[in-house]
Amino acid sequence: MRKSLFTFSPLLLLPFSILFLCLSCSEVDSDSYPPTWLGFTYTTGSFSNYAQGGTGNVTLYLGDSIHLTACQNERGRLINATDYTWTVCYDTLDTKGNNNPDDDVIVHVQKEYNQHTNYDGYTNGADDPVGHLLIPANALPTNTGRDTIKFVARYVFSGGGIIYDNGNIVDNTSYNGRITSQSGPTGGGAVGYFYFYVSDHKSVDLGLPSGTLWATCNVGANGPEEYGKLFAWGETTDLGKTTYAWSNYKFCNGSYSTISKYCTDSNYGTVDNATKLNSKDDAAKENWGADWQMPSKEQFEELLNDSYTTSIWTTTQNGTNGRLIVSKRNGNSIFLPAAGSRDGSYLLYKGDVGGYWSLSLGSDSPDGRCLHFDSGSINMADKSRCLGLSVRPVHI
């Protein structure tokens, strides 16, 4: 199909030495054809060694960079002046310059990044096209569907023998997305789509045996060193709550002996034998979405296992006291700020003590199981469910 053309040439009438010099300059070949494509490989700013995948379920975070390579299965031949366009499509919010949420409008943005190359489709060592793109800090998290990066290649053929190469290229599962060739008599191109989701929350892989990915900040915080919100166990909002006591706790009738949900002992209320928070009572899931949840007591115990991590009390995290949990397996870490606790109308031990709810009930029904630490120790403990403690989500 892609054979060299050989016809009579006046070169054959030249002296042998001149003929040899001419023929040794380059291969005589007038066939032109476009490249075929496999799909995309990628790395991101959050995960420099992100694995290649074929599902298209890639999560990117606000402000992330992503480096996409459009991989050719077979390079084209004799192509002039190829142009590549990468277009990032995402949603953002136009606030209309005021603080009235009713005026906010969701805007679909298409941001183009253009490349140009003189790659002739002939040199075997030529690089595949690479796009260095940015997910803007004002992008909205993906709520429905998927966001896209569109790749377009445009090129013209320079040879005399045009070979058509139309139709879909078979998708290779070791690549992400799909690229389709589109060729004509004198030129052609390719169109491909890379799919991703935008999230405003990041997670860290600590190399734990369970594979648990821990969030980098607390619910209600925008960074690792921020305290975030404090919740009673099983409550999902702190809105308007100035007192943390049994008198206004959601799952009782005014006292610890009248518990109405998550109770295993009739001395404390109505028994339902539920020992883990359901989705509606999970502060991580309700505030961050279905991909997150509060940790179980088993996940906290794994986090504290000194075979996997080291816990360090630190006062140097942007001036915030807390515990730095460092993986012994890959060196990654998370920081847990000492946000204190809410008890009654008081905020206690801020900067000195940290308490983090699990989704597990304590040994007695009035208690929830939590992670507790100060400058001298870190361990699991049972605390009264009506207290306000921090919540650190895990990714699911």
Question: How do residues 289-330 score in pLDDT, each as one tens digit?
Answer: 888 999 999 999 999 999 999 999 998 778 899 999 999 999
CA-based R_g, the chain, Å: 30
Strands 65-74 and 130-134: antiparallel
Q: Which pLDDT does position 26 carry in this prediction?
A: 40
Whether 368 and 228 map to the same domain: the answer is yes
Whether 138 and 169 map to the same domain: the answer is yes
Whether 207 and 277 map to the same domain: the answer is yes
Collect the ranges in the chain with pLDDT lower than 70.
Answer: 1-30, 45-57, 80-81, 93-109, 116-127, 137, 143-145, 159-176, 185
Gap between the Cα atoms of 148 and 138, Å rounded: 16
Whether 239 and 373 map to the same domain: the answer is yes
Q: Is residue 19 part of a domain?
A: no
Whether 145 and 233 map to the same domain: the answer is no
Say how far residue 365 (Cα) sits from the centre of its chain.
Answer: 37
Whether 383 and 240 map to the same domain: the answer is yes
Whether 64 and 162 map to the same domain: the answer is yes
Picking from 177, 103, 107, 101, the residue whose alpha carbon sits closest to that of residue 136 is 107
Q: Which of 199, 221, 246 is the last residue of a domain?
A: 199
Residue 54 is encoded by which pair of tokens? 């074929």
Q: Is residue 220 part of a domain?
A: yes
Gap between the Cα atoms of 170 and 150, Å rounded: 18
Q: Which pLDDT does position 37 carry in this prediction?
A: 80
In Å, what is the CA distance from 28 to each residue of 123, 124, 272?
Answer: 15, 16, 84
Which of the 8 DSSP states describes residue 29? -
Q: Is residue 1 part of a domain?
A: no
For residues 189 and 152, the answer to whether their CB atoms sit within 8 Å is yes
Whether 363 and 264 map to the same domain: the answer is yes
For residues 385 and 366, the answer to whether their CB atoms sit within 8 Å is yes
Q: Which pLDDT does position 119 carry in this prediction?
A: 54
Q: Which of 199, 220, 239 is the last residue of a domain?
A: 199
Q: Is residue 165 part of a domain?
A: yes
Q: Is residue 20 part of a domain?
A: no
Q: Which pLDDT does position 171 carry in this prediction?
A: 43
Picking from 362, 370, 234, the residue whose alpha carbon sits closest to that of residue 304 is 370
Q: Which pLDDT does position 25 carry in this prediction?
A: 37
For residues 221 and 336, the answer to whether their CB atoms sit within 8 Å is no
Q: Which pLDDT does position 81 carry in this prediction?
A: 60
Taking the model in full, what pTM does it have? 0.62
106 forms beta bridges with 93
Whether 185 and 221 map to the same domain: the answer is no
Q: Which pLDDT does position 219 carry in this prediction?
A: 92
Q: Is residue 290 part of a domain?
A: yes
Tally of domains in the chain: 2
Q: Which of 199, 234, 261 is the last residue of a domain?
A: 199
Per DSSP, the three-state class of 152 is strand
Contacts of 80 (CB under 8 A, 6+ apart): 118, 120, 155, 156, 157, 158
Q: Is residue 362 part of a domain?
A: yes
Q: Is residue 4 part of a domain?
A: no
Per DSSP, the three-state class of 369 is strand
Whether 194 and 208 map to the same domain: the answer is no
b/e map of 179-191 (b: 16 or more CB within 10 Å)? bebbbeeebbbbe
Whether 192 and 207 map to the same domain: the answer is no
Whether 224 and 366 map to the same domain: the answer is yes
Q: Give me the domain span that covers residue 139.
A: 30-199
